[in-house]
Structure 1
Amino acid sequence: MSCPGNCVCTSKGAVMCVGHTITDIPKPLPVHTYQLQLNDTNMNVINEQSLANLDLLLRVSLTHSHLHTIHPRAFHIAPQLKSVKLSSNDLSTLPARVFSPLTTLEELHLNGNQLETIGLDMFKGLVELLILDLSWNKLSSPASDVFNGLTNLNFLNLGRNSIKKLPSTIFRSLTKLRQLLMYNNELEVLEAGIFDGLVNLEELKIHHNQIKSLPPQVFWSLRNLKILTLSSNRLQAIPEKSFYHMPKLTKLTIYNNPLLSLPDQLMGQMPDMRELYLYGTNLTTVPGNLFANMSGLLSLNFHLNDKLNELPSDLFCCLPNLEKLSLKFNDLRYLHPQLFSKLTTLTILILNNNKLESLAENIFQGLGELFSIDLKNNHLKNLPGDSFLSNTRLRSLTLSGNPWDCTCSITGIAKWIRYNEHVVLDRDDALCHSPKYQLLRTIGSLREEEFNFCDATTVNSYFPTQSDLHASAKPFHTISTSGQTSVVASTTIPPTATSTTTQGATQQVIILTTTPTTKPPALHTKILSTSLQTLTTTPPDEEFLLATETPSTLYMSPPFYDKLVIEQGPEFVHHNLHRGWVYVWFLPSDTTLAGLLMFSHILLVAAGLFLIVAAMYSMYRLSKTMDELKAEHAHNTG
């Protein structure tokens, strides 16, 4: 058996030749060659005799070789061919009926060339053709009867051309076609009845076109269709009942269309539907029955709709087999408590990057198979402590990027996180945003004892609230009772602050009462069983505030002791506990003075840098002068 140079020949009859030195089909080839592959050659023409003496050849492939010409009788001497592949060449035209002698041809690949037109009788006589690939060419308007006679065709690829319009009868003879690909063209409309003859079609891909509207009932004849891609077009609306009579559909994509609304009747019975992609639209809401006929749906990608702000409460009522639900990057602010109640098989729930401000306590109740929940980058301030108690299989939860409010309302979820740290994957980034004394603490670091005061009788806070700190403060003044002097800090919101004392010299209580114009947030405190010390002498000379309800009980907030609270207001506040007294220090803060000090600091730094540079320059000049003097001295003495 002989094998030409630059070729590899197998004993079974397959030959592969590669190299720029090849300008024609190498000769001689083994007589039993049935498959010939030529790749990356310098063969520009298939001559009339190129395929001579290859009577057993069934499959020929010439790719990536800059082929630009085929002799009109090139295939007359090889009518037995079953497959011809001429992909990725420079063919811009084809001789009329050049393939007609190949009456038993089953595969013809012309993709990746420069073809602009196809002759009317180009495929005449190819009655056994099963696969025709014309993708990656420059076709713009194929003739209406170009595919006539291809009655056995199973696969037709017209993708990645420049087709702007297709005649309504172009596919009428392709009754056995199973796959039709027309993606990445410039189609603006689909003619009514264009798919009527494709009764056996299983896959239709028309994504990445410029289709602005669909004819009513255009897909109704496709009763065997399993995959339909309409994504990345220009659809603003879809006609009513467009997807009826498609019971075998398993995958539907209509994402990246500027859809404004969907009709109440859109989807027919689709029990075999497994994947649905509906994202990148202008929808603000959808009909409540949109997914009602998709009982077999496993994955629903309903995300990246930046105007979608409302979901009907029964939207997911009829998806008993759904495993993955993605609602990320929408504009959702509220979810109905029963929205997910019927999704008992759900394992992945993606809700990140919405504007959710709160979630109902039982919204995840009954989702026993839930494995992953993504809640990051919302507007959540707290969650009920038992939100995830029924999700026993939960192994992945993300909470970062939310403005968590680490006051009493956070205690439940904080406790859950402490006991389930392994579940919260971003626990180190789930940070408190308020109040300011908890700023940047992780929720998981909050301890139970910090919130002991939350469970007791509540009283109004007698410590300054945030609004108090932003209001002006009156100077400290003294009130004398029974020959004793007490110092009281009086603040205005503009409420009035008064102080009263009990009669008698052995016990004294100072009570601060305020009447704000707007009700300040209540601080829930625990009643501590601490007896008030008997005051027989004047309190220390430090400025302080002691607030109580009765002479016998002292209300205090344990987590606040010895903590410095810096507010962006008129003062800094430091609470201190000493011998039963709570001291509150008010240190005036003047923004003008602070600005002056900052300016002075910058000025001093700049002056220092200038002096350093000046000193370095002086040293340089002094060194240079010394060198000149030495040189002059050496010259004079020489």
Structure 2
Amino acid sequence: MDVTDETGCDCGVTMSSDKIRTTCRIPSSKTMVQKLSLTTFYFFFLAILMANLSIATALGCPAGCMCNDDTYVVQCERSKLDVIPITLNPAIQRLVLRNNKIKTVDAAFQFYRDLQYVDLSSNHLVNIPTKSFLHQEKLQELHLNKNKLSSINNKTFQGLKSLTVLNLRENFLEELAKGLFSILPRLEELNLGQNRISKIDPLAFEGLLSLRVLYLDDNALSTVPTPSFSVLGSLAELHVGLNGFTSLPDEAFSGLGKLSVLDISSGGLSNISSNAFKGMTGLRSLNLADNRLQRIPTDQLGHLVRLEDLTIGQNEFSSLAKGSFKGLTNLRRIDITGANNLEHIEKGAFGDNLNLETIVLVSNKRLENLADGALVGLPNLRHLVLRENSFRTLSESVTSWGELRALELTDNPINCDCQLLWLLNSINSKNITNVQCSTPKRLRDKSLRTLTADDLGCSFGDPRQQAIIITFCVSATILLGMLGLFLFRYRQRVREALKDYKWNKRAISRKEHEYQKTFPDEDYGARVGQHHIKQIPVTEL
């Protein structure tokens, strides 16, 4: 058997029955060098292979994560991570790290240059080092909400040239400095809600030429940051509710000519200047709910000629007077929910709003009735929502029911009597929610749909028969009234006519009586026979 020893010598082994003989032959120097080089190469190759195997073993999906190498999506939600993992596939495009314990954004992002979506919400982020996103040129959405960020600067988001959505909601930001977002030219949505922002530089939003949606709600703003809006000419949606301002000055939203949606809910507003909405000719949706308005701001709303959706519940007004929404000719939906002082809606309250399609009157605990005709004259009304009010009955004359497609009346203390017979007859032909009776006691909790006209105490179940009877009674009343009026007006003449009639009747009766006595019936024929009628000659005529 031939082997090679450690020196590169060729050795032969000869075996016999009694001993083993080994003989070695020393190779030439040239042969020995060649074999040493080959051996070195083998060792070098083996070292590289082992290193690659070690790296491959280290790379992978961390415990508690889901990694999909086909879609390039990694989700590590509630995985107890305290740092951003660096062992992920470098080609990932979507990284979700919600609800972990990550405290900072480190250099790990430099390994993932194809990221398009990153969610770091609900972590423990305290700060973001400068240039942390320098290599994320493809990133489009960055969610940093629900963290502990107290400050950011104009270099925090350096490198995010493609970013369209930035979510910083529910952090501890207090101030927005000049040019803070100027390096985000493609940003379309910026959420700064639920922070502690009390000061905004007039040029804080400078450079956001593509911004369409801005959230500033639930902060510590004492006045409307009107100067800051001047650079947001493309803004379409603004949320500034839940702040500390109680009034809107003239032209409070100057510069926002393209604004379509405005939310000022829950802001404690008690005063709106006459020209607060001046220039907002493109506004389509306005939310004024949950404020302290004691009356409908009719004149102020009149500037919003294109308004289609108005939410104005949870305020302090007690009635809707005639023409409350004058000028809002394009209004299609109005929502008055939770107006605890609202008691009455007058006829013509929506008289100028002929395009209304949906009226929502919900949870107005003092609203017991609608005036007859309060909703008449709305040819496009399709949905009427009257849930959770204090209606005991509903008159058929409240609105024109012909075009109505849906009526919601649940959770009202409905009194089921004959006044609701029209509604009972309409239930099967219209989409009306289940109406439960509250009174009388014998019908409590019963569905109006299951009742009959007799159950409602109606004498005549057929509405046409009722109409005929009512028409007859009304006609008879009118005729009797006219006759009485005639007799009263001409009572003297009637009295004289009746007097003459009675006197003549008595005189005729007396003469006839005497005549009957002078010529008895027995003698009348005899007397006629005894007297011949003298013929009158023709010549004498």
By the TM > 0.5 criterion, same fold? yes
Equivalent position amino acid for 1:274 in 2: R
Report what 2:526 is aligned to.
none
| 2:438 is the counterpart of 1:401 | yes
Q: Structure 1 residues 41, 349: closer, same or farther in 2, change over 3 A?
A: closer
Q: Structure 1 residues 392, 125: closer, same or farther in 2, change over 3 A?
A: closer
Report what 1:149 is aligned to.
207
| 2:409 is the counterpart of 1:317 | no
The structural deviation recorded for 1:379 is: 5.7
Aligned partner of residue 51 in structure 1, secondary structure: helix
**For 1:70, which of 121, 128, 133 is the aligned residue?**
128
| 2:266 is the counterpart of 1:208 | yes
Report what 1:626 is aligned to.
none
**For 2:316, which of 258, 263, 269 is the aligned residue?**
258
Residues in 1 aligned to 2:201 and 2:357: alpha-carbon distance in whole angstroms: 41
Report what 1:106 is aligned to.
164
The structural deviation recorded for 1:232 is: 0.7
The structural deviation recorded for 1:168 is: 2.1
- The answer to whether the 8 Å contact 1:242/1:266 transfers is no
The structural deviation recorded for 1:319 is: 1.4
Residues in 2 aligned to 1:391 and 1:292: alpha-carbon distance in whole angstroms: 27
**For 1:5, which of 41, 45, 62 is the aligned residue?**
62
The structural deviation recorded for 1:148 is: 2.5
Cα deviation 1:93-137 (Å, max 9, x = unaligned): 224532244343222111122222233332122222111111232
- The answer to whether the 8 Å contact 2:410/2:434 transfers is no
Aligned partner of residue 52 in structure 1, secondary structure: helix
Report what 1:498 is aligned to.
none
Aligned partner of residue 32 in structure 1, secondary structure: coil
| 2:351 is the counterpart of 1:292 | yes
Aligned partner of residue 125 in structure 1, secondary structure: coil
Within a 5 Å distance, the mapping from 1:470-481 to structure 2 comes to none
Cα deviation 1:589-635 (Å, max 9, x = unaligned): xxxxxxxxxxxxxxxxxxxxxxxxxxxxxxxxxxxxxxxxxxxxxxx
Report what 2:97 is aligned to.
38
- The answer to whether the 8 Å contact 1:269/1:294 transfers is yes
The structural deviation recorded for 1:68 is: 0.9
Residues in 1 aligned to 2:90 and 2:421: alpha-carbon distance in whole angstroms: 80
In the comparison of the two structures, how many residue pairs are matched?
Answer: 397
Within a 5 Å distance, the mapping from 1:568-587 to structure 2 comes to none
Q: Structure 1 residues 270, 116: closer, same or farther in 2, change over 3 A?
A: same
- The answer to whether the 8 Å contact 1:100/1:122 transfers is no
Report what 1:232 is aligned to.
290
Report what 1:22 is aligned to.
81
The structural deviation recorded for 1:258 is: 0.3
Report what 2:227 is aligned to.
169
- Per the normalisation by structure 1, the TM-score is 0.54
Larger helix fraction of residues: 2
Q: Structure 1 residues 30, 400: closer, same or farther in 2, change over 3 A?
A: closer
Q: Structure 1 residues 381, 24: closer, same or farther in 2, change over 3 A?
A: closer
The structural deviation recorded for 1:380 is: 6.6
Cα deviation 1:227-262 (Å, max 9, x = unaligned): 211111111134333223535433211001001455
The structural deviation recorded for 1:66 is: 0.7
Calculate percent identity across the aligned residue pairs: 24
Residues in 2 aligned to 1:103 and 1:27: alpha-carbon distance in whole angstroms: 23
Aligned partner of residue 40 in structure 1, secondary structure: coil
Residues in 1 aligned to 2:135 and 2:229: alpha-carbon distance in whole angstroms: 31
| 2:397 is the counterpart of 1:338 | yes
The structural deviation recorded for 1:142 is: 3.0
Residues in 1 aligned to 2:296 and 2:433: alpha-carbon distance in whole angstroms: 38
**For 2:186, which of 125, 128, 134 is the aligned residue?**
128
Residues in 2 aligned to 1:203 and 1:133: alpha-carbon distance in whole angstroms: 15
The structural deviation recorded for 1:331 is: 6.3
Residues in 1 aligned to 2:137 and 2:408: alpha-carbon distance in whole angstroms: 58
Residues in 1 aligned to 2:347 and 2:209: alpha-carbon distance in whole angstroms: 43
Within a 5 Å distance, the mapping from 1:345-360 to structure 2 comes to 345-349=403-407
Within a 5 Å distance, the mapping from 1:365-404 to structure 2 comes to 377-378=413-414, 382-383=418-419, 393=429, 398=435, 400-403=437-440
Q: Structure 1 residues 82, 339: closer, same or farther in 2, change over 3 A?
A: closer
Residues in 2 aligned to 1:110 and 1:138: alpha-carbon distance in whole angstroms: 12
Report what 2:216 is aligned to.
158
Equivalent position amino acid for 1:42 in 2: K
Within a 5 Å distance, the mapping from 1:84-99 to structure 2 comes to 84-99=142-157
Aligned partner of residue 268 in structure 2, secondary structure: coil
Residues in 1 aligned to 2:407 and 2:346: alpha-carbon distance in whole angstroms: 21
Residues in 1 aligned to 2:193 and 2:366: alpha-carbon distance in whole angstroms: 36
Residues in 1 aligned to 2:101 and 2:339: alpha-carbon distance in whole angstroms: 46
The structural deviation recorded for 1:334 is: 8.6
CA RMSD of aligned residues (A): 3.8
- The answer to whether the 8 Å contact 1:59/1:82 transfers is yes
Q: Structure 1 residues 68, 445: closer, same or farther in 2, change over 3 A?
A: same
- Per the normalisation by structure 2, the TM-score is 0.63
Equivalent position amino acid for 1:198 in 2: L
5+ long unaligned stretches in structure 1: 354-375, 407-413, 415-421, 431-441, 449-638
Residues in 2 aligned to 1:343 and 1:382: alpha-carbon distance in whole angstroms: 18
- The answer to whether the 8 Å contact 2:72/2:92 transfers is yes
Within a 5 Å distance, the mapping from 1:155-554 to structure 2 comes to 155-260=213-318, 264=323, 266-271=325-330, 273-277=332-336, 279-286=338-345, 288-308=347-367, 311-327=370-386, 338-340=397-399, 342-349=400-407, 377-378=413-414, 382-383=418-419, 393=429, 398=435, 400-403=437-440, 424-425=448-449, 443=455
Residues in 2 aligned to 1:248 and 1:384: alpha-carbon distance in whole angstroms: 38
Residues in 1 aligned to 2:210 and 2:282: alpha-carbon distance in whole angstroms: 17
Residues in 2 aligned to 1:227 and 1:150: alpha-carbon distance in whole angstroms: 23
Cα deviation 1:530-585 (Å, max 9, x = unaligned): xxxxxxxxxxxxxxxxxxxxxxxxxxxxxxxxxxxxxxxxxxxxxxxxxxxxxxxx
Residues in 2 aligned to 1:195 and 1:141: alpha-carbon distance in whole angstroms: 17
Residues in 1 aligned to 2:448 and 2:179: alpha-carbon distance in whole angstroms: 66
